[in-house]
A and B are shown apart, each in its own frame.
Chain A
Amino acid sequence: MPVLLKLRRIAPYAIILALSGYLYDLALHFDYQKVPGRIGPDAWPRIILVLLMAICAYQVLRLALQRKTGEVEGVLQSLEEEAAPSLVHPETEHPWLAWAGIALTFGYLLAFERVGFFSASFVYLFLLMLVGGYRRVLTALGIALAASLAFMFVFMKIVYVSLPLGRGPFLDVSIGVMKVLGIH
């Protein structure tokens, strides 16, 4: 197995192992009054963390030593893989698309209060559809507009959720939309 691929396979377990070690150390220092003969609030998290570290360490060693011991499978793994390999291992993968989606979502949340729900959702929905491969720009714009209006109407007028209206010019836009939708 190439070194890079091996490292890539080991990485998730190594990261969880390191994080568990750090959390275990934190659990050792929980601030509470110890009662002799009674387990404290650190006992349960420490048990979980020890088990987690043990499994991760096993996986790291197994993958690092590249022993041909294989993986302990859940009872139904082979059944599912035989039945629908495409569902278990999809053929095409474009991780950058997922990360673009994550970046867009981060941007949306950062703009949520400043720009207001309506404007932020309109832009976000439109861009997410484009990132998702939908190429009918005008239709996407129409859908994004209709969806933002519909969500605003349902949640502000019917469910009574106080959605952010934004600041400055965006506030004016939100208030204008609310007037159009009959939200007071």
Chain B
Amino acid sequence: MIEILGNLGLGFVHVLAPANVTALLIGLVVGMLVAILPGLTLVMGVVLVLPFTYGMALLPSIIMLTAMYVSGTYGGAFTSILFRIPGEPLDVPLLWDGYTMGRKGAPAKALGWTLYAALWGGLLTATAMVLLAHPFARFALTFDAPEYFSVILFGLTSVVALAGTSMTNALISLFVGLLLSTVGVDEIYGVQRFTFGVPVLADGIKYVTIMVGAYGLGEVLGRLEQGFQSRPVKRSADGIKTELPTLSEVWKVRSAFARSSLIGVLLGIVPGAGATITSFVSYGAERQYGKRKALLGTGIPEGIVAPQIASTASVGGHMVPLLTLGIPGSGATAIILGAFLLHGVQPGPQLFTDPKSAALVYAIFASLFLSVLGMCAMGYFWIRSLVKVMDAPEAVVSAFVVLFCVIGAFSERNNLYDVWMIVIFGIVGYLFDRFRFPIAPLVLGAILGPEAETSFTTSMISHRNDWAGAFFGRPISCVLMILTIAALGFPLIRHVLRLGRAWRAG
């Protein structure tokens, strides 16, 4: 424990270097802006910033992206409460009680509850991250190829099982992603696969182009299809201040604080349960178990703190499997993993054993604490200025997004091929969205595909093609495989039971 605290202290010293503080501030501001603007999603924003990190050192890059991620879970609360415009899907639950409280004449108080919730959720998640990461990493050090394959498979299947869409479509999206990762020269045999004689395909398809295309351009095309909001939102936040609740008021909703904190951190660790999901689940839990569940939706504090705490608390939860196992659990953490890989660093338990990289990890932990404090200060003092970005028409913002995508892709290798790939995956992303195939499994499949294939092939070779022995004959791997089967089986069983009930009811 003393060692952890000492490392964390050193982490704070690293973060306070001017370059890192600047990256943190930029990340906080951009994250807030992205969350406020209805045409931009948080993941899209993180993707657009990724190309700017090519020339930066690893630590400020990760600090910037993490700060964006955490402040993105908070920024949209303002537009939801004040204007009934959720900047992100994760802010939708805030409409029910946050906006209602505002309409009842207490918007400042609603903002105060949000600030407390974000602060509590953020600090809690940062603490949980520090405490959980080491045991996780120590456990992961015992992993061999079969365990790695099983944990990746579990991560990917839980993304599919939790998908807010048809599970078959999510599986198709995942398999397409895994298949894309096989394009190019195979690492073990050196054989060209699916290159169609095109020399550039021998290098494989870069997952960055898939991410930027599908999340960036694809989403712009999707919004274009729905018709951009061409007129700016003419609403004013002038005169609105944040009014903090008193400690006795906070004490009255302590059970909501405790419940949503637990849901946020625990669901955050499960791959696939992003901030949106935790926010909805936490509100749902409040509706089911809250002391004042009958009053939810009428503008009570529990309806504000539950989704806000859970969505902010999920950030640290997501960072734990990313840093200790190299497995991203959400779109935003997939991009942060991309930033690590672009700098030649593979996240995993080894990060914690090497003193140099351990310093990096603790600096990231420290930056999360500072990000939470920074975003709350920003929300308290600057929010009236920040919400002014809503005056920008969506058509203009989207045109900028596309240009960012194009230049971002071009600037990595000064090669138009990468830009064409982005356009192709932009169209793929748009079509996926149109036919209700989720994007996250595609991207995660493309990123984790090579690691999954290598660990699968190595396991099969070392176990002489005995797959049962490799994956079910080792305790950790066996448990993970059973969890994988359960993750896939649960929605299926639920579906069959529903059909049975419908059939019995005639």
Chain B's nearest CB lies how many Å from the CB of A28?
A: 12
A121 contacts across to B, CB distance below 8 A: 403
Contact check, A32 vs B191: say whether CB atoms are below 8 A apart.
Answer: yes
CB distance from A141 to the nearest CB of B (A): 12
CB atoms of A98 and B430 under 8 A apart: yes
Complex Cα–Cα for A134 and B194 (A): 42
Contact mask B196-219 → A, CB, 8 Å, 1/0? 000000000000000000000100
List of B residues within 8 angstroms of A55 by Cβ: 168, 171-172, 175
* CB contact between B225 and one of A72, A77, A94 (< 8 Å): that residue: A94
Pick the contact of A159 from B222, B226, B411, B495 — CB < 8 Å? B411
Smallest CB separation, B400 vs chain A (Å): 6
Give complex CA distance A110, B92 in Å: 40
Q: How far is the CA of A43 from the CA of B175 in the complex (A)?
A: 14
Say whether A155 contacts B491, CB under 8 Å: no
Tell me if A168 counts as interface (CB < 8 A to partner B).
no
Residue numbers in A under 8 Å from B171 (CB-CB): 51, 55
Contact A30 B92, CB 8 Å, known A44-B182, A52-B172, A73-B495: no
Contacts of B398 in A (CB 8 A): 128, 132
**In this complex, what residue of A is CB-closest to B170?**
A74
**Once A and B bind, how many residue pairs between them come within 8 Å at the CB atom?**
218
For residue A161, CB closer than 8 A to chain B, the reply is yes
Return A63 CB to nearest CB of chain B, in Å: 11
Within 8 A of B (CB), among A125-140: 125, 128-129, 131-135, 140
Say whether B166 contacts A163, CB under 8 Å.
Answer: no
Report how far A163 CA is from B234 CA in the complex, Å. Answer: 38
Chain A residue with the shortest CB-CB distance to B164: A80
Q: In the complex, are the beta carbons of A147 and B399 less than 8 A apart?
A: yes
Q: B-side interface residues toward A, CB under 8 Å?
A: 52, 55, 86, 89, 92-93, 160-168, 170-172, 175-176, 178-179, 182, 186, 188-189, 191-194, 217, 220-222, 224-228, 230, 276-277, 280-281, 284, 393-396, 398-400, 402-403, 406-407, 410-411, 414, 416, 419-420, 423, 426-427, 430-431, 434-435, 437, 453, 456-457, 460-461, 464-465, 490-492, 494-495, 498-499
Are B160 and A74 touching (Cβ within 8 A)?
Answer: yes
Which residues in A have their C-beta under 8 angstroms from that of B437?
Answer: 12
Contact A133–B193 (Cβ < 8 Å): no
- Contacting pair A41 B189 (CB below 8 A): yes
Tell whether, in the assembled complex, residue B411 and residue A161 are in contact, meaning their CB atoms are under 8 Å apart.
yes
Q: Restricting to A22-79, which residues have a CB under 8 Å from any CB of B?
A: 23, 26-27, 30-32, 37-45, 48-49, 51-52, 55-56, 58-59, 69-77, 79
A79:B284 contact, CB within 8 angstroms: yes
Please judge, given known A-B contacts A76-B277, A79-B281, A109-B416, whether A70 and B403 are in contact too, CB under 8 Å: no
Chain B: minimal CB distance from A91 (Å): 8
Cβ of A132 and Cβ of B163 under 8 Å apart? no
Question: Given A26-B194, A72-B492, A94-B227 in contact, is the A83-B457 Cβ separation under 8 Å?
Answer: no
Q: Does A5 contact B (CB under 8 A)?
A: no
